[in-house]
Structure 1
Amino acid sequence: MKIKQFEDKALSHFSYAIVSNGKVAIIDPERDPAIYYAFAEENQAKITAVIETHPHADFISAHLQIHKETGATIYTSKNVGAQYAHTAFDDGDHFKLGDISFEAINTPGHSPDSITIVAKNADQTVLFTGDTLFVGDVGRPDLRESNGNKKATRMELARQMYHSIKHKFDKLPDEALIYPAHGAGSLCGKSMGDASSSTLGNERKGNWAFKEQTEEQFVDALLEGQAFIPHYFGHAVDTNKEGAENLSLALSAIPLKVSSDAVPAGALIIDTRDEAAFKKNHLPGSFNIMATGVKMSFETWLGAIVKPGEQFYLVSETVENVYKSLQRVAKIGFERQVKGLLTLPEHALKHFQTLDLSHFEEHTDAYTIVDIRNKKETDESKFFASALTIPLHELRERADEIPAEKPIVVHCAGGYRSAAGSSIVANHLKDTMIYDLSDAVKKFQ
Structure 2
Amino acid sequence: MFFRQVMDQELAQYAYLLGCQRTGEALIIDPGRDIDRYTEIAKEEGLCIVAATETHIHADFLSGLREFAEHHQVTIYLSGEGGDDCAYVWPKDSGYDIRKLKDNDEFMIGNICIRALHTPGHTPEHMSFLVTDTGSGATEPIGIASGDFVFVGDLGRPDLLETASGVSGTQDPSARQLYKSTERFLALQDHLQVWPGHGAGSACGKALGAVPMSTVGYERKFNAALGFQTEEAFVGSILGGQPAPPLYFTRMKELNREGAPILGPLPVPKLCGIEDLILQSTASHAVIIDTRPDRKQFMAGHLAGSLYAPLGISFAMIVGSYVDPAAEIYLILDEEQVNLAVRTLVRIGYDNISGFTPPSELSSSRLADHSLSRIEFSDLDANVSSAEWTIVDVRGSSEFETAHIPGALNIAHTRLASRINEVPRGKPVMTYCRSGNRASAATALLAREGFDVTLVDGAFEDWAGLRQEV
Superposed pair shares fold, TM > 0.5: yes
For residues 145-198 of structure 1, the C-alpha deviation after alignment (integer angstroms, 9 at most, x for no partner) is: 3878999711221111111112x3355322111111012221111122332211
Q: Partner residue of 1:44? A: 46
Q: Partner residue of 2:343? A: 327
Q: Which of 282, 285, 297 does residue 302 from structure 2 map onto?
A: 282
Q: Partner residue of 1:63? A: 65
Conserved? CA contact 2:241–2:397, under 8 Å: no
Q: CA deviation at 1:61?
A: 1.8
Q: Which of 190, 193, 214 does residue 177 from structure 1 map onto?
A: 193
Distance 2:317 2:121 in 1: 23
Shift of the 419–325 alpha-carbon distance from structure 1 to 2, 3 Å rule, reads same
Distance 1:53 1:177 in 2: 16
Distance 2:289 2:351 in 1: 15
In structure 2, give the amino acid aligned to 1:216. E
Q: Which of 23, 26, 31 does residue 25 from structure 2 map onto?
A: 23
1:120 pairs with 2:120? no
Distance 1:359 1:68 in 2: 56
1:214 pairs with 2:230? yes
In structure 1, give the amino acid aligned to 2:457. S
SS at match of 2:115: strand
Q: Which region of structure 1 is more displaced relative to structure 2, 34-43 or 265-274?
A: 265-274
Q: TM-score, with normalisation over the residues of structure 2?
A: 0.82
Identity of aligned residues (%): 31
Q: CA deviation at 1:70?
A: 2.8
Correspondence 1:146-295 to 2 at 5 A = 153-166=170-183, 168-169=184-185, 171-211=187-227, 213-249=229-265, 251=267, 257-259=272-274, 260=276, 261-262=278-279, 263-264=281-282, 267=285, 269-274=287-292, 275-291=295-311, 294=312
Shift of the 389–212 alpha-carbon distance from structure 1 to 2, 3 Å rule, reads closer
In structure 1, give the amino acid aligned to 2:282. P
SS at match of 2:116: strand
Structure 1's unaligned 5+ residue stretches are: none
Q: CA deviation at 1:441?
A: 5.5
Distance 1:319 1:342 in 2: 8
Q: Partner residue of 1:352? A: 371
1:379 pairs with 2:379? no
For residues 27-54 of structure 1, the C-alpha deviation after alignment (integer angstroms, 9 at most, x for no partner) is: 1012222221122112111111111100
Shift of the 438–77 alpha-carbon distance from structure 1 to 2, 3 Å rule, reads same
Shift of the 419–322 alpha-carbon distance from structure 1 to 2, 3 Å rule, reads farther
SS at match of 2:384: helix
SS at match of 1:329: helix
SS at match of 1:435: strand
Q: CA deviation at 1:96?
A: 1.3
SS at match of 1:335: coil
Shift of the 14–324 alpha-carbon distance from structure 1 to 2, 3 Å rule, reads closer
Distance 1:358 1:195 in 2: 33
Shift of the 111–71 alpha-carbon distance from structure 1 to 2, 3 Å rule, reads same
Q: Partner residue of 1:438? A: 457
Matched pairs, number = 434
Q: CA RMSD in A?
A: 3.1
Distance 1:107 1:370 in 2: 39
SS at match of 2:63: coil
Distance 1:301 1:356 in 2: 22
Conserved? CA contact 1:144–1:152, under 8 Å: no
For residues 193-246 of structure 1, the C-alpha deviation after alignment (integer angstroms, 9 at most, x for no partner) is: 332211112222222343352322222222111110211112111222244334
Shift of the 169–313 alpha-carbon distance from structure 1 to 2, 3 Å rule, reads closer
In structure 2, give the amino acid aligned to 1:93. D
Shift of the 402–233 alpha-carbon distance from structure 1 to 2, 3 Å rule, reads closer
In structure 1, give the amino acid aligned to 2:130. V
Q: Partner residue of 2:355? A: 341
Q: TM-score, with normalisation over the residues of structure 1?
A: 0.86
Conserved? CA contact 2:164–2:245, under 8 Å: no
Q: Which region of structure 1 is more displaced relative to structure 2, 260-269 or 7-16?
A: 260-269
Distance 1:197 1:141 in 2: 21
